[in-house]
Structure 1
């Protein structure tokens, strides 16, 4: 009935600018195709939380921890070690990476309770710096950060699933990509069908990663007690096979930061908690939660790497296509099959968590008028943001990287002091599907790519905390961190971005260019108010067809 009546399918008419200025917080900019009922511009939501999503606090806490301890710890050790140049320096990078994540978490805690809106970085930057800055952050997240991260985790999932089937060689290229695509499509269907299913999957599959990491750490301690820690002895740990430059250190931190990404997960679902000022991210004192969780994650990551080095030399770790599998084969004997299964479960849950978070960011952007209004709609029965989920799994930037399959098969001494060979193929067009990137993207270059953009967005957001202190000094802040914390974070942020750009100018530079392509899109789609009637009719038609295809409407207001 709903879809058969034109009046209920959001007929796109000329917006009521007065109402827009009254209810829309986009700093005076015209919304990007957002129309409410009867053709009037609306806040888009004013959603009753339960009509969109109902997640228990326990699920949110479990999902937040799951989002931090994800597939990165099974991917990044090789990248960190390669750029650090020694075992000891690699371990220092892991410890410092946890400290930087803790500083960022404290800054986000203040922003989360001061601006209690879903959308995380995007909502804070929009509120503090205005519509253009918020749109560019959203543009980079939708086109770069989330699709690339999904591609990396999906490729890791397929590698670990296929490694036992092909123990003596790299898994076939086509098999790895097809399995990754099947995994992405399956979890997109799950998240589209039921939020309850999605959160239960997150809870269940978190056990996989905890099992794998606990097993690795316990076996590592057993090795140390037996005296098998040759590579960890000070004389060997700081024996460099290459002299790392400042640029190499920056890239090592980028690789490690990928494993720590996810510490700002609950900032994206703030409105789904009863009282975000008291219960973000968990119903207890937030700084205390950060001081417990981040050091715990840092401990787990550091000792997981220590365990790796009790079983493998640096050369063996760098030549391994699946580090945890190699660890299991060396130390677990008949039970080595536990490692690939556990890691596969971990990465499967990680993909689910990224889909859950990224769809809420698209939803928030559409609500603000920075994305097409179709993305602010939910399924009439399941109350899931199906259009936002589809867009998250469908788009990726036009430029990707490729590397030969045998990138780590060269002897270590031949690769010392060199950046691994890479071929970069820029493509024309605005974007490609996330599924396509897995056909042409190398995992470790993609990590540099997405981590650089991630850090850029983190820094701009934390810079906003300082600006907000200056612009609105009297605003109510339930949590107020010492100003030295954001300043210290920004100093590290500047170092990382400058030297990463110097070391990987093509990979990082293309990311910056893609972000800047959002400027004309913003002025054409958001700032330009009087669009031709033919354009509005086209948008109206596409929105109607999108609603019919996905069976979605605006959430209940009030």
Structure 2
């Protein structure tokens, strides 16, 4: 049923690999490596409010954004035929399940770590010391804004209310939306989860409605004449342009993005690995079926020629053709607004855990700020930073090129980390094998992991292929791949900062970094990295400190 093996790991717990790292570090005092990253929290200070249906809803809500209302039409316009479009949607489903298998294997090895990519990259790449935590931390925090989701919500709210879409009205509603979402997420984990559950299942009902309506249209029970004719010669008009196919597949892959959102709150889920494996796959399977049925529904109600020659959303044409002009002009924008605000809430919940986990690694300033869950048992520091950055991105760049560029900038570093993540899976497997730990409790088939690695390479290569409009034919008026270069540039700058901070500064400053595991009153734990002066000839009363330095880790409570 799943693209991975289930194995009872023969006496080893899912925490075994972490225990091996700790054991090696503590017993081999001659090594320069230490416990890198965030310590495991035995009990999540955020509580355990994420049940089975919330796991489904979290993934639902992040997957179902505005893409299903927009993407099917743009895919058809690009590849030129209904048959080719549906084949790409099917390929998107296969890719998503392969990715789900990879993330499930990681989850089975680190079930007490939230933040998904944060923890998995940290564990896969402990060398060079601090490099991966530093680079991922800076990128994750700087690019933690959700401006595009908030702007889309504001646009469709105004359209649904039959109000003019002005620049500052749009920005004001977007700021109010992200403010309300962050405030709800800060005040109560339980109620923010409940709200996103409600919105998620409303979105599923919306897609069910579209899918069933499509079946009714195909049955000939609406005013659409000869809907089955739209599927005759399904591959007629298919383009052979490789760039168009690449762009179409990228759009479909990102339409499914969010199937791993539950991994971000993994330590808040009772019986986490089993729950995520079963209910995460249910969420992905249901969304996959609904996406395919919705695409068929759109193509049944709207002809290929009408989609190609209209500037309206395909979903708007669908509602207009089936229910009349008022439905296309009023009902659809309201549905898209509901979908986008639910997506914004799910992304905020998941990403706040990523940023908190990054802060717990100790490589950012003031780790207690990022880690602390006072007063509501929520990641307040991460939510505050997300709100501030999102407001800046909403307000500072002028509409058009600047805003599109800032939004695009988020994607390329994420694709780089995705590629590293899949490579890291094979590294961790080999490390476990050398340590005699055997297979992980859940294991993706190797061919599945390799295929997903190839997909990650494709996502790195595709943005460099020139668009049909030429070098300036992207969604900005300047060179189409500028955001890729800038994204790589940010990572290089992070690498330079890392080298200065972790290598040059300690060498010339005569100190070394010593990790201190700090436990806060709420039970939160984080790594604090202290600078300890080198002392080549310690006195006897300093022997205890030297032992701590050689092990590179101390512990205390505050």
User: What range is the shorter-chain TM-score in?
Assistant: 0.7 to 0.9
CA distance in 1, matches of 2:507, 2:47: 34
1:155 Cα offset (Å): 2.2
Mapping for residues 136-535 of structure 1, pairs under 5 Å = 136-144=135-143, 146-147=144-145, 150-166=146-162, 171-226=165-220, 228-229=226-227, 232-235=230-233, 238-240=236-238, 243-279=239-275, 281=276, 286=277, 289=279, 292-314=282-304, 316-317=306-307, 319-320=310-311, 322-333=313-324, 337-372=330-365, 373-395=367-389, 433=393, 436=396, 439-440=399-400, 450-473=410-433, 474-475=436-437, 477-503=440-466, 504-524=480-500
1:191 Cα offset (Å): 1.0
- Confirm or deny: 8 A CA contact 1:124 1:461 kept in the other structure: yes
CA distance in 1, matches of 2:42, 2:453: 37
CA distance 1:509–1:456, change in 2 (3 Å): same
- Confirm or deny: 8 A CA contact 1:104 1:462 kept in the other structure: no
CA distance in 2, matches of 1:442, 1:310: 38
Query: What SS does the aligned partner of 2:442 have?
Result: coil
CA distance in 1, matches of 2:401, 2:206: 27
- Confirm or deny: 8 A CA contact 1:378 1:553 kept in the other structure: no
- Confirm or deny: 8 A CA contact 1:71 1:346 kept in the other structure: yes
CA distance 1:524–1:513, change in 2 (3 Å): same
- Confirm or deny: 8 A CA contact 1:30 1:526 kept in the other structure: no
- Confirm or deny: 8 A CA contact 1:106 1:481 kept in the other structure: yes
1:293 Cα offset (Å): 3.6
CA distance in 1, matches of 2:34, 2:168: 46
1:260 Cα offset (Å): 0.7
CA distance 1:22–1:380, change in 2 (3 Å): farther
Please say which structure displays the higher CA radius of gyration: 2
Q: TM-score, normalised by structure 2?
A: 0.73
Query: What SS does the aligned partner of 1:480 have?
Result: strand
Cα deviation per residue 1:368-413 (whole Å; 9 max; x = unaligned)? 11323144333432111111112223337xxxxxxxxxxxxxxxxx
Shifted more, 60-69 versus 212-221: the winner is 60-69
- Confirm or deny: 8 A CA contact 1:463 1:486 kept in the other structure: no
Q: 1:93 aligns with which of 75, 88, 93?
A: 88
Query: What SS does the aligned partner of 2:452 have?
Result: helix
Cα deviation per residue 1:243-278 (whole Å; 9 max; x = unaligned)? 452222222122112211111112212222344344
Query: What SS does the aligned partner of 1:472 have?
Result: helix
1:456 Cα offset (Å): 2.8
Query: What SS does the aligned partner of 1:235 have?
Result: coil
Cα deviation per residue 1:470-521 (whole Å; 9 max; x = unaligned)? 2221335111222111111112322332232233432333222223232233
Q: 1:114 aligns with which of 109, 112, 124?
A: 109
1:201 Cα offset (Å): 1.2
CA distance in 1, matches of 2:413, 2:508: 35
Q: TM-score, normalised by structure 1?
A: 0.73
Query: What SS does the aligned partner of 2:445 have?
Result: coil
CA distance in 1, matches of 2:69, 2:167: 20
- Confirm or deny: 8 A CA contact 2:464 2:481 kept in the other structure: yes
CA distance in 2, matches of 1:360, 1:532: 36
- Confirm or deny: 8 A CA contact 1:113 1:277 kept in the other structure: yes
- Confirm or deny: 8 A CA contact 1:47 1:556 kept in the other structure: yes
Query: What SS does the aligned partner of 1:119 have?
Result: coil
Q: 1:49 aligns with which of 40, 43, 49?
A: 43
Shifted more, 517-526 versus 337-346: the winner is 517-526
CA distance 1:153–1:321, change in 2 (3 Å): farther
Structure 1, unpaired ranges of 5+: 1-20, 32-42, 397-430, 534-551
Cα deviation per residue 1:115-166 (whole Å; 9 max; x = unaligned)? 222121121111111231343234333333x42xx22222221222122344
Query: What SS does the aligned partner of 1:156 have?
Result: helix
- Confirm or deny: 8 A CA contact 1:195 1:384 kept in the other structure: yes
CA distance 1:293–1:54, change in 2 (3 Å): closer
1:186 Cα offset (Å): 1.3
Shifted more, 358-367 versus 262-271: the winner is 262-271
CA distance 1:290–1:192, change in 2 (3 Å): closer
1:108 Cα offset (Å): 0.9
Mapping for residues 65-76 of structure 1, pairs under 5 Å = 65-76=60-71
Shifted more, 320-329 versus 352-361: the winner is 320-329
CA distance 1:195–1:290, change in 2 (3 Å): closer
Shifted more, 379-388 versus 435-444: the winner is 435-444
CA distance in 1, matches of 2:404, 2:219: 33
- Confirm or deny: 8 A CA contact 1:232 1:309 kept in the other structure: yes
CA distance in 2, matches of 1:553, 1:75: 48
CA distance in 1, matches of 2:419, 2:175: 32
- Confirm or deny: 8 A CA contact 2:150 2:344 kept in the other structure: yes
CA distance 1:270–1:189, change in 2 (3 Å): same
1:355 Cα offset (Å): 0.7
